[in-house]
Structure 1
């Protein structure tokens, strides 16, 4: 496990005499992925134009790169947190984290994922005289980890429950959160690990295409998710009496369903989720929510071979599609909805408003809705680059996800902090919820 303690400024050894006059300093040399980035350059001629190249290779070997164009000040220095990036690069203006959030894949339709949180990702920085093809002046690197010092990770096989359980360092108990991902399947636990670094006992819950779980998205049983909730409620390191839920995309409608039918839920955060059940039938006891249907005629093609599916799902307030509507009015927990105004996957903005309406109709408190007008569907933890388009397993074609890179990046930073504040605020209640059915 990486120690996050290091020298505050960690340049790589300079590779040649030609590079010896210039220092590229990245701070810190090792950090968590959602920590801010600080880069400084010393030893340049006054007013020198340079290019800062950033590169990251993911676990699948895909290369992500960005370019920043800068001009040294009168002292031959530049500080990415204060010096404006010039036109002609991946970002402009004062953008301390611009080298990170503006990364783009070499291969189209690729999304940056972290599947093994036990190993860090390495950023490589190189500084070039003039254009990106100019002479190499200096190099540096930074390790960005997902599993902080003394945070424990346990692959969980408890009864039927499968996932990863992360516990922060210290005696505990800690606020407990179950995190549910979208339609990709398998076990993705990078969000859960980052939350654990911030003081939460977090379970990344797999629910299909993993070990002995269902192989396909055909039907799910809420009793499985209930078993995971009960596991967390009974864990000695989880602070009760209730837990939190975090879900994105398909995980969003799943956590809304959990909050609507199950006991022990105190706070639910939904990131670009649907208020209707999507993709697979959901059963709980004698109740079934069928998946809401789609109209393929509403599919648009903004470019050849790539779809825009925002409008294909039927309106869940209209018959006969209302039978797929999740009875969120039965929930007694607090809700936070994180909404990307340019979500091209579906109408998450409208779904959040429907959820608010249904809660108020049942005499419940309005949810907190945070709206980011130019953010897309994949609102991730801070500094993940925007995924513009990739393959969608449910519709079996590449689709656009929406979002403008800078606005989307700002939404990720803000929403990540809001999610943590939301859980810290509400996971200390004293009411244990009852089953609704």
Structure 2
């Protein structure tokens, strides 16, 4: 009799997952289908075809997918290759505290292409993946003008490296990366900076003081180690992260993921005066593909006046760039910033680029997304990348982020 096992059945979203089937006939061909419903109720599905070995087993960490939504031997291939039933969607994770990603794993004892209604699965299992571990405190922050959510471990008497987490041009408040980082031993403030609550609706006028107040708030917390905080940002958030690294003395370590080295689309102010005046976006240079997708080629023109003076940064900087990014030329921007630091005799930066990785870098456990909708745009944007190298890069980047912050923060515990 066949048996379907998922290991582990419950875990964190960044934990590897393996699916195994035993009790099949030798060389039997089967289909495994994975289904996810996200926090909006949107459905995502993948499937792949496998051939059992000589003892009637299929194990995704050893058995290659012969076809389907992915091919080859990749234990997380079914997660990576999840496709939205409604085109150009990526899974939304809003409730990290009460609502895990719940996957349904279906086994079909023959090839099931999904071109019409699938037959009844021979076996079904469910598994859950949380973005917040037990023992993590989640606190909404509405102190002064600061808006965000703070996550930190409650177990143990020690303090934890403090990190400000910034997302990109969609605005609002994203918590899932912050909650996962907290689950790995950090105190993380998911910080909204526009398009949320009573904050400005756009990023056209950002105040450096807002971010300085957020850093001070984090450093005052008894669970945050002193004397510096870290900043991690992606896309527009990475751009802001470099500004903070360059001008805020509280920042000791900064991770820029697929960001620019200039300020775009708005101005950064300090004490009421323009600190860095951003270069306008060249919307007339955007391209619409034959498939009706938006490509931002030529959207970003370089201007010395809007360059971020990264050579001012007193802390350490880590630039992470996808070489197949089709939203920014992220590798080029990282190289410019890195060379600027070297030109000024600074050796506190490190750069890693990833062949095949696109723009939309998420924590592990999210499917690959080549193009999707972004708030403020009427048609989907192309992010770029190739599924396998992109998702492998996400796993590598996740480890690099944790290693970097553990190395350069929490200095008070090392004195």
**Count of paired positions:** 404
Map 1:169-318 → 2, pairs under 5 A: 169-285=155-271, 286-315=273-302
User: Are the aligned partners of 1:129 and 1:135 in contact in 2 as well (CA < 8 Å)?
Assistant: no
- The equivalent residue for 2:124 is 139
Q: How far 1:297 sits from its partner (Å)? A: 4.3
User: Are the aligned partners of 2:166 and 2:241 in contact in 1 as well (CA < 8 Å)?
Assistant: yes
Give the one of 78, 87, 108 matched to 2:58: 78
Inter-CA distance 76–142: structure 2 relative to 1 (3 Å threshold)? same
- More displaced, 346-355 or 402-411? 346-355
Q: Please list every run of 5 or more consecutive structure 1 residues that lacks an aligned counterpart in the other structure.
A: 1-20, 316-320, 431-437
* CA-atom RMSD in angstroms: 1.5
Q: Does 1:22 align with 2:8?
A: no
Q: How many angstroms apart in 1 are the aligned matches of 2:340 and 2:408?
A: 21
Residues 131-182 of structure 1, C-alpha deviations (whole Å, 9 max, x = no match): 2235521110101001101111001112211111001132221111110010
- The equivalent residue for 1:322 is 304
Q: How many angstroms apart in 1 are the aligned matches of 2:193 and 2:284?
A: 31
Residues 204-256 of structure 1, C-alpha deviations (whole Å, 9 max, x = no match): 00111211211233211111011001111221110011111100000001110
Q: How many angstroms apart in 1 are the aligned matches of 2:374 and 2:174?
A: 17
Give the one of 313, 331, 340 matched to 1:358: 340
User: Are the aligned partners of 1:278 and 1:292 in contact in 2 as well (CA < 8 Å)?
Assistant: yes
Q: How far 1:197 sits from its partner (Å)? A: 0.6
**TM-score under structure 1 normalisation?**
0.89
- More displaced, 130-139 or 101-110? 130-139
Residues 270-329 of structure 1, C-alpha deviations (whole Å, 9 max, x = no match): 1001111123221112343222123344322333321210322102xxxxx221111211
- The equivalent residue for 2:357 is 375
- The equivalent residue for 2:115 is none
Q: Does 1:111 align with 2:93?
A: no
Residues 316-359 of structure 1, C-alpha deviations (whole Å, 9 max, x = no match): xxxxx221111211111111111000111111111111111221
Q: How many angstroms apart in 1 are the aligned matches of 2:142 and 2:282?
A: 39
User: Are the aligned partners of 1:299 and 1:307 in contact in 2 as well (CA < 8 Å)?
Assistant: yes
User: Are the aligned partners of 1:311 and 1:347 in contact in 2 as well (CA < 8 Å)?
Assistant: no
- The equivalent residue for 1:6 is none
